[in-house]
Chains A and B, each alone.
Chain A
Amino acid sequence: MGTDTDRYTGEYAVEVAGLTVDLERGAVNVVSDISFALAPGEILGLIGESGSGKTTVGSALLGHARAGTAITGGKIVVDGVDLLSLNRKELRRYRGRVISYVPQDPRASLNPAMRLGAQLQEALTVHGVASRQQRLARIRQVLDEVKLPSDDRFLRRYPHELSGGQQQRVVLALSFLCRPKVVVLDEPTTGLDVTTQAHVLRTVRELCRSHRTAAVYVSHDLAVVADLADRIAVMYSGRLVEVGAAEEVALRAAHPYSRALLDVVPDPHRRREIRTIRGRVAALHERPDGCVFADRCDFVEPECRRQPIGVVRIGDGHTALCRRTEALPVRAGQEEESTRVGGTPDDAVRTPGEVYLAVRDLRASYGGKEVLHGIDLTVPRGVVTALVGESGSGKTTLARCLGGLHDEATGEVSVDGRRLAFGAHERSAADRREVQYIFQNASEALNPRKTVGRSIEQPLRVLGGADGPLSQRVASLLADVALGSDAADKYPSQLSGGERQRVTIARALATAPTILICDEITSALDVSVQSAILLLLKRLCADSGLTMFFVTHNLAVVRAIADRVVVLNEGRIVEQGPVDHVLDRPQDPYTRQLLGDTPSLLHA
């Protein structure tokens, strides 16, 4: 694109031009024509769904191509040197020192067999800091900056002895250790809860500001990035479809895809209509010749499909890959929409029916350590009740107690007046049919060696309750979760993350339950996929009068789907009530803090 250069006159921290990555075999393109430039200290948010190529771009910035792919063109100029012109040995001198990388999963990225001190020291040793004293001084300084302990005791620890948030800070410290010009962060907060995420984002911002480090922050979530980034680049099907100042893109997105992405982000401060992006990202070898977004675009013309779309200049440093930008309707301003607290009429909170599930004085422990301290809770029939809290608050334990998956507990759980045993194996088949559980990680919750159809049949075979042939029931369940009946013969590995989660929902629905317990079932998904799942759950609830207990750490999701909310902190309920009531006027300081930490486009 090369249109950024009019923005800034000094020397860029990083300049990327025409970056292209292809598959090694078959001449299939993965990403192409990626161009942008960042001034020192500037943060670029690189946004896209799974399969958009954002992670490919992220690692390609360090001259790294994943197995089976190759960087086939372009320039990456950092510190006056084109990284792609270097040989392997020269490139190694730049990696980690001039441009560094923060991976998605800190637990997997820290070497489990090396002490933290050794890993931190090594990063300096390989880049020529020979004196141990100098290394330790720098390590302690950077650990202080990321707000971790820096004493010897901490340095002697192993990665598995830290919490997820601490691990992510160690990885941050590693990436800032050599005072690089550029840091690439690949969804570094995806596995973290909102509070930890907010802390990590704050730290990234401080580090970039104080050391004038440019950053590329890769994420699928516009709300996370809008607040952090100076500029936003939106990726789709391997292209940058829009680049501009963060505020420009958030308020005046020019590309239909950017607009769609903005529309699917839930917000903790207002109830928005849940919208989805129709269709799905095309596979690599099925990408269209013309506009890459044409198949999912509401404004598409035949002309759009004829040839690749050129860059259109929208404003100062704001470009889009769309020939229809002028035809798009003027976007309703965020401010205007924000006044519609309470949402559209059809989204209005339903009046809860009588109590369906009741919990009295529930105490649960792990190995003798109590994690739930006397929970009293009622879940009304036919509505969505959300349970919110950070990791470690006990919310999953509570859900597991209800689902019959945790039996180190005392107290009383009853459904429709009938008392439930804590262990599922002690519950009657009828009880097990009524109470169904959906897990967070759909790929782990599905047996990889069973077809989707077999998985969905399983509860019917074990618990009974099917009238008519199983295959018919499976087909109708698949239809309920908006999957085609051909999915029945597929294996989980042949499905996308969102489709897998739909299958687990279909499996939970197989026995026609009256209450669904959903444990963080959208937190591993892209926002666009999340909104589709939320819409599905909402429809199921409305259509069949299902009662839902929805566990999440994300208040924005709560606002989008729930009628009632229960806030859990350190094993105790601190606040509960109707969603709009609690989130508009939170009473407990903990709820207020959670709300403040939840990313929102309103703050941008």
Chain B
Amino acid sequence: MVKMILWRSVYAVASLFVVSVIVFAATQALPGDAAVAKLGKNATPAALESFRQLYHLNDPLPTQYVNWLGNILQGRLGVSFATGFPVGSLIGDQVANSLVLIAATVVIAVPLAVVLGILTAIRRDRATDHISSVLMLVISALPEFVLGVALVLLFATNVSQVLPAVSPVDPSRSIFQQLDLIVLPTLTLVLLVLPYVVRTVRACMIEALESEYVTMARLKGMSERRVVLRHALPNMAGPTFQVVAQSLAYLAGGVVVVESVFQFPGIGQAFVSSVLSRDLPVIQAVAMLLAVFYVLVNLLADIGTVAMTPTMRGGTR
């Protein structure tokens, strides 16, 4: 088990390393010149040159990469070209906002999906199950911006006006004092991941309920409640971790679109505006952050799966 965690961590670090190379190469390949983007088309060649000097843009690419990686490893994300502020303080709030959004989504979506998945499995082929699967199918067929707009129509404009249509979080106050602003974005994200998780949980639960050890538990005189909670549930924990991790990774991407629908100042907004202004250090920092999030979530899910599955423990990978 310990060996497996170590191995997985090594893989995680290795994949992040590969990602860093790709991120660096991709940002270098972006069309346009950071110096021109910052100083304008009318800047003198001397000004452009001194900007490039200042940010070491004339160094050979490998040197730039090594310096950049070294700085990142020490927690120095660099200085924004566009504003001159350190990247860390610039996107810190936005990252925090997005994390709150994702956390709220997970806290609501995962328990809801697990309960729904189990219920529909137990009531397989009955009304609850059919209604749920049709609903889930409809939701998963809608793109995230349509979902977001539909929710806005329902709760913020024509039908009722209980919630704000856009979420311009006031940066001077904590996001926790403006929770009404994250309700609709969260709801959108919840609906986004729900169908996928529900369907996986339902399938795993049905498989567990049809297993011989569940039949055996019934023949040993266990109550149906005990059969579900003690015998079936632990055996579907592994797959559930996996699907939750995948939805989380999906959320990190979905959050970009949803943030733009609600004009929510999160990591997505930071990403889009930094690309528009060729703000290389910000682009790189955001891309790396998303990668770290993705890899970390998958690592945790793998560890969780192995920890919950006795037959997988003891293996090395």
Contacts and interface: CB of A to CB of B under 8 A. Distances in A.
Given A101-B216, A109-B212, A126 B221 contact: yes
Contacts, number: 72
B222 interface: yes
A392 B221 CA distance: 36
Contacts of A174: 220
B219 A62 contact: yes
Interface string A35-60: 00000000000000000000000010
Interface in B195-252: 211-213, 215-223, 226, 230-231, 234-235, 237
B310 interface: yes
A94 B218 CA distance: 11
A96 B219 CA distance: 6
A285 B221 CA distance: 33
Interface string B178-195: 000000000000000000
B311 interface: yes
A335 B215 CA distance: 44
Interface string A52-96: 000000010010100000000000000000000000000011111
Contact of A112 (B213, B217, B219, B221): B213
B126 to A, nearest CB: 14
A92 B221 contact: yes
Contacts of B215: 64, 103, 109
Secondary structure class of chain B's binding surface, majority of residues: helix
Given A108-B213, A109-B213, A127 B308 contact: no
B309 interface: yes
Interface string A98-120: 00110101001111111100000
A312 interface: no
B226 A160 contact: no
A126 B223 contact: yes
A174 B222 CA distance: 13
A156 to B, nearest CB: 11
Contacts of B235: 111-113
Interface residues of A, number: 28
Given A92-B223, A94-B221, A112-B235, A103 B310 contact: no
Contacts of B212: 103, 105, 108-109
Contacts of B211: 108
Interface core residue of B215, B237, B308 (most chain A CB under 10 Å): B215
A123 interface: yes
B220 A109 contact: no
A62 B217 CA distance: 12
A59 B237 CA distance: 29
Contacts of B222: 92, 96, 122, 126
Interface in A97-156: 97, 100-101, 103, 105, 108-115, 122-123, 126-127
Nearest to B211: A108
Nearest to B231: A111
Nearest to A123: B220
Nearest to B313: A158
Contact of A160 (B221, B308, B310): B310
Contact of A126 (B213, B226, B237, B308): B226
B221 A113 contact: no
Nearest to B233: A113
A523 to B, nearest CB: 20
Contacts of A59: 219
A126 B224 CA distance: 12
A127 B221 contact: yes
B283 to A, nearest CB: 45
A113 B305 CA distance: 12
Given A105-B212, A111-B235, A160-B311, A122 B219 contact: no
A95 B311 contact: no
B220 A110 contact: no
A333 B216 CA distance: 42
A109 B216 contact: yes
A295 to B, nearest CB: 33
A112 B216 contact: no
Contacts of A113: 234-235, 237, 308-310
Nearest to A171: B216
B123 to A, nearest CB: 15
A93 B310 contact: no
A109 B217 CA distance: 9
Nearest to A110: B213
Nearest to B311: A160
A91 B294 CA distance: 50
A111 B213 contact: yes
A160 B221 CA distance: 24
A25 B217 CA distance: 27
B213 A100 contact: no
B169 to A, nearest CB: 43
A100 B220 contact: yes
B220 A126 contact: yes
A398 B255 CA distance: 57
B66 to A, nearest CB: 41
A95 B223 CA distance: 11
A96 B220 contact: yes
A185 to B, nearest CB: 12
Interface core residue of B221, B226, B235, B311 (most chain A CB under 10 Å): B221
A115 B216 CA distance: 16
A95 B220 contact: yes
Nearest to A92: B221
Contacts of A111: 213, 217, 231, 234-235
B214 to A, nearest CB: 8
Given A108-B213, A111-B213, A160-B310, A95 B218 contact: yes
A96 B221 contact: yes
A127 B219 CA distance: 12
B213 to A, nearest CB: 4
B220 A112 contact: no
Contacts of A127: 221
B221 A97 contact: yes
21 contacts: A59-B219, A92-B223, A94-B221, A96-B219, A100-B219, A101-B219, A103-B212, A105-B212, A108-B213, A109-B212, A109-B216, A110-B213, A111-B231, A112-B213, A112-B310, A113-B310, A114-B230, A114-B231, A126-B222, A158-B310, A160-B311
Given A96-B220, A105-B212, 13 more contacts: A62-B219, A93-B221, A96-B219, A100-B220, A101-B219, A109-B213, A111-B213, A111-B234, A113-B234, A123-B220, A127-B221, A160-B310, A174-B220
Interface of A: 59, 62, 64, 92-97, 100-101, 103, 105, 108-115, 122-123, 126-127, 158, 160, 174
